[in-house]
Chain A
Amino acid sequence: MRRTVPAFVAAGAIGALALTGCGQAGQGSTTSEDGRTQITMWTHSAGNPAELEVYERIISDFNASQDQYEVVEESFPQGAYNDAIVAAAASGDLPCLLDLDGPIMPNWAWAEYIQPLGISTEITDSLLPTAVGVWNDEIYSAGYWDAALSIFARESVLTENGIRIPTIEEPWTAEEFTTALQTLKDAGYETPIDIGAEDTGEWWPYAYSPFLQSFGGDLIDRDTMLSADGALNGPEAVAWGEWFQGLFADGLASTSGTVGNQEFVDDEVALSYTGVWNALASVEAIGDDLVILPPPDLGTGPKIGGGSWQWAISSTCEEVEGAREYLEFSFQDEYITEFADKQIVIPATEGAAEASEYFGPDGVLRPFVELSQEYAVLRPETPAYAVISTTFETAAKDIMNGADVQRTLDRAVDEIDANIESNDGYGF
């Protein structure tokens, strides 16, 4: 009895500690059963079976191709992915390989989550410029594809209503675009264009800041990267805000609906401003009647968001050699083609595009490749982007809901500038 009581205390304490779980998600070298070094890898692709399937194939091919390393993959749902990375970084549990959304890369590079990629320049030189992430003159990330946005329409609907079909050489002007929408509204479409306003998160800056740039505004002054003043609240930006607000106020676009292209497929809307990744369902449903149009020229030419998900190596990775070997292995055209055709995204190499069913020279989605090359604008490459993104989303939603444009944009500028200042200019 005598000695049991302190043991009791100890047991209680140990139990409690066990519950708190000081576990480590191995970023250290663990070895697999057959003596290989394991390389941990995180993707955001849970919930995207097509994408995951390709990764699994690359991984098993890579693991079979040599006997030194074994890549072990874990996937997260996209909505929770960035939080998982930040939490893992804070507790020193980052995996070796991780994928990330292009615009967040500078923030993570600046925070020293990731290290310069260091894979052969032969590979990175062959990729689309928007599929390579550069920060401080160093390549930190590279991806297999880029994405693009365009306006989907049915050719028959446009011709019936006497609307000119725009081309890359001659896109719609702002007036033409508005007139077209009005015509379609009068033709019986309750809200003629679906611009995806029911979606949330990164979609907002990705989809709607190109409109702002087409007007001549921007998310931040890209010369200094120190202030959004003038770019996000100048006269061009206000003109964008008024126009954006008008889309909803005049009933040309809806604030709700389903995420994706369903409304367009069901012919409830005449036009759909949407991402390439939604294209396949529309191609299948509409066939030859589908036309893929450039976004309107709202003043300074059409603009499309550039930069999609890419791969990086964490700064705490102990198996850098193996991680690089895996990445170099993975940038083979056949895999890139498979990503492009399974997931419907623009392949990052010329060779992969040639072989692609959809993006090849006669592929039905070829216009996207041209749109992306012609109009892509990267989101500002600054660590402040995390704040710019959420602030822009809030401001644009407020504008959509009828807030005073100038005041809302001024407030957004204040918020962004205060954040840049409190971070000592993020090193710019």
Chain B
Amino acid sequence: MTVTPPTVAAETPQRATRRFRTTKGRETWAGLAMMAPAGILLVLFLIIPVILAFTLSFTNARLISPNPPRFVGFDNFVRAFTNDPVFLQSAWNTFLFALVVVPVQAGLGLLLAVLVNRRMRGVTAFRVIFFIPVVTSIVVVSILWRFLYQPNGLINSMIDTITFGAWSGMDWLNNPQTALGAIIVLSIWQAVGFHMIIWLAGLQTIPEELYEAAKMDGAGPWRQFVSVTWPGLRPTMVFVLVTITISALALFVQIDVMTQGGPTGSTSTIVFYAVRKGYEQQEIGYAAAISLIFFVAVLIIALVQRRLTRDKD
């Protein structure tokens, strides 16, 4: 395996040895040394794969084939947008998922954070309860919820009991109308605790004096929240929104475990579809093109978010 040395090293030509005798030179070396492990890993596992994926997406490379790949220009991209209804459906599903999950999960996380951000007995227990799903493996969570959603599962039994048998629920995961919704619910439940902790960290940076001052001015709880808490949480909000967006767009495990993209493609997502095309159907070139489209889309969305939430100073 050949390793491209970090490009930074290239900027220090033969003079390096001479420079090395100066304090500044030594610092450069020390800096490079500290960067080396992360730098090499990043190049190997991030930069090179990205370049490879970019190259592959213009070929008809197969996962398994005795024939060498050949360049096909923009064929893969054209195919994705004009001749692949499942891809378009996957893109739409992914977008829909993010559209619901981002505001709901961020809002719910904030609500929980505000609730557990007080000094009273038992608050730690609540924090732990909300946080448990986050540290549970998402695969395990997905399998459990698949059982819950079964026609004769816990959720339907509950509905049946509450409505006194008037409605006994439905086959949530096998109904195109409800499958994505079911996955949205479990995804929010699983990850909301993580963002609750982030919000909580943000809440604890707001100085207590501000609240005292607000109380002196006669502000009620709502007014305190709007005028003190919310402005103080601005940087946290940006972080929470961007992280939720990126992870929501990358939805894969729940789909892979629970529905495999079905029923009738209603839960297929871009990442799931790329994996299916690339590995199960062995079309690596096409899967790379899908990944590239995904990469560009996420980049654009993240940049737009940054713009919208930037400090207006």
Contact = CB atoms under 8 A, between A and B. Distances in A.
Contact of A16 (B40, B67, B279): B40
Interface in A78-113: 83, 86, 89-90, 107-108, 110-113
B281 interface: yes
Contacts of A5: 20, 26, 29-30, 33
Contact of A86 (B26, B64, B66, B264): B64
B44 interface: yes
A2 B23 CA distance: 11
B174 interface: yes
A386 B40 contact: no
Q: What does DSSP make chain A's interface, helix, strand, loop or mixed?
A: helix
Chain B interface: which size bin?
Answer: 35 or more
Contacts of B79: 418
Interface string A367-388: 0000000000000000000110
Nearest to B259: A397
Contact of A9 (B33, B174, B286): B33
Given A256-B150, A394-B261, A83 B279 contact: yes
B82 interface: no
B41 A422 contact: no
A399 B150 CA distance: 19
B120 interface: no
B265 interface: yes
B176 interface: yes
B281 A390 contact: yes
A403 B280 CA distance: 23
B132 to A, nearest CB: 27
A34 interface: no
A426 B219 CA distance: 75
A153 to B, nearest CB: 23
Q: What does DSSP make chain B's interface, helix, strand, loop or mixed?
A: loop
A398 interface: yes
Contacts of A398: 262-265
* Of listed B39, B60, B67, B85, residue having the most chain A CB within 10 A: B67
Interface stretch (A17-25, A57-65, A273-281, A286-294): A17-25
Nearest to A110: B66
B62 interface: yes
Interface string B244-288: 000000000000000011111100000000001001111100100
B1 interface: yes
B30 A113 contact: no
A423 interface: yes
A428 to B, nearest CB: 13
A419 interface: yes
Chain A interface: which size bin?
Answer: 35 or more
A12 B39 CA distance: 10
Interface string A388-428: 00110110011011110000100100000011001110000
B32 interface: yes
Nearest to A111: B64
A13 interface: yes
Given A255-B171, A387-B281, A401-B262, A8 B64 contact: no
B33 A386 contact: no
Given A20-B44, A386-B280, A403-B264, A8 B63 contact: no
Contact of A89 (B21, B33, B64, B280): B64
B175 interface: yes
Contacts of A108: 64
A401 B283 CA distance: 27
Interface in B70-110: 79, 83, 85-86
Interface string B139-154: 0000000000011000
Given A22-B1, A256-B150, A401-B176, A16 B62 contact: no
* Of listed B34, B63, B64, B67, residue having the most chain A CB within 10 A: B64
B115 interface: no
A15 B36 CA distance: 9
Nearest to A200: B260
B33 A8 contact: yes
Contacts of B13: none
A9 B3 contact: no
Contacts of A408: 264
A107 B64 CA distance: 8
Contacts of A17: 1, 3, 40
A81 to B, nearest CB: 13
Interface in B128-178: 150-151, 171, 174-176
Contacts of A86: 63-64, 279
Given A107-B64, A398-B265, A9 B29 contact: yes
A422 B174 CA distance: 33
B33 A255 contact: no
A113 B64 contact: yes
3 nearest A-B pairs in the assembled complex, by CB-CB distance: A12-B36, A401-B263, A16-B40
10 contacts: A2-B20, A5-B30, A9-B32, A15-B37, A19-B37, A394-B260, A398-B264, A411-B85, A418-B83, A423-B65
Interface of A: 2, 5-6, 8-9, 11-13, 15-17, 19-20, 22, 83, 86, 89-90, 107-108, 110-113, 200, 254-256, 386-387, 390-391, 393-394, 397-398, 400-403, 408, 411, 418-419, 422-424
